[in-house]
């Protein structure tokens, strides 16, 4: 069984723990660099990306996370996607540049900042929960768009890494977490 680390500094890491179990993986919470040693992949959850960036720094986890990502898959959801992006706007902030996408934070406006909708994933539809979601403005040529919502990419993978701007851990559908688990074996 594959062990999936879930960055547990802030945000909805507990929902990911349950989602990883539903998908057939073994979740472990990651709070220190040493915790990463046991992991085959890592999930960076939703939450507040500015706070998470600061906490990564305070816990001396930024560099270990980069080193981990150079060898193993990382999956970022919502705030996690913002952290993994190449560049971030509104407001601009540093990011880890693990996946070649540009994102704009809180891009869907106050009125519709949180919603449950269906997104198009190839020939399939997927229920998706958006909470103050970022918008993916650009996907680099190496990126593969796995789902869209009203024409915007909302699930992208590039090489070993993957992001969603929605929260697959908040629905019972395990397909997104299963795809991440599959990436661990390749």
Q: How many CB atoms lie within 10 A of CB 17?
A: 20
Helix 62-69 × helix 49-58 angle, to 10°: 100
Which two three-digit tokens encode residue 36? 């990463």
Identify which of residues 131 and 184 has a Cβ nearer to ligand GLN in the complex. Answer: 131
Question: Is 78 among the residues known to form the active site?
Answer: yes
Residues that bind ligand GLN (CB under 6 A): 46-49, 78-79, 82, 105-106, 131-132
Question: Is 86 among the residues known to form the active site?
Answer: no
* 79 three-state secondary structure: helix
Closest by Cα among 184, 183, 181 to 21: 181
- Output the smallest distance, CB 28 to ligand GLN, in A: 21
- Output the smallest distance, CB 140 to ligand GLN, in A: 21
Task: Single out the catalytic residue among 16, 39, 104, 169.
Answer: 169
Question: Is 39 among the residues known to form the active site?
Answer: no
Which two three-digit tokens encode residue 90? 């509104």
- Output the smallest distance, CB 185 to ligand GLN, in A: 28
Q: Which residues are tagged catalytic?
A: 78, 167, 169
């Amino acid at each position: 069984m594959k062990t999936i680390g879930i960055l547990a500094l802030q945000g909805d890491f507990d929902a990911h723990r349950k989602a990883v179990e539903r998908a057939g993986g073994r979740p472990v919470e990651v709070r220190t660099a040493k915790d990463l040693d046991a992991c085959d992949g890592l999930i960076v959850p939703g939450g507040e990306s500015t706070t998470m960036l600061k906490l990564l720094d305070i816990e001396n986890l930024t560099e270990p996370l980069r080193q981990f990502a150079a060898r193993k898959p990382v999956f970022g959801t919502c705030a996690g996607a913002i952290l993994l992006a190449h560049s971030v706007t509104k407001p601009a902030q540093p990011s880890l540049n693990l996946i070649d996408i540009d994102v704009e934070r809180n891009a869907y406006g106050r009125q519709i900042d949180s919603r449950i909708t269906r997104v198009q994933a190839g020939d399939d539809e997927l229920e998706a929960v958006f909470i103050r979601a970022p918008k993916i403005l650009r996907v680099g040529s190496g990126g593969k768009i796995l789902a869209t919502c009203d024409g915007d990419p909302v699930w992208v993978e590039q090489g070993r890494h993957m992001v969603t701007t929605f929260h697959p851990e908040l629905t019972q559908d395990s397909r997104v977490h299963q795809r991440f688990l599959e990436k661990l074996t390749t």
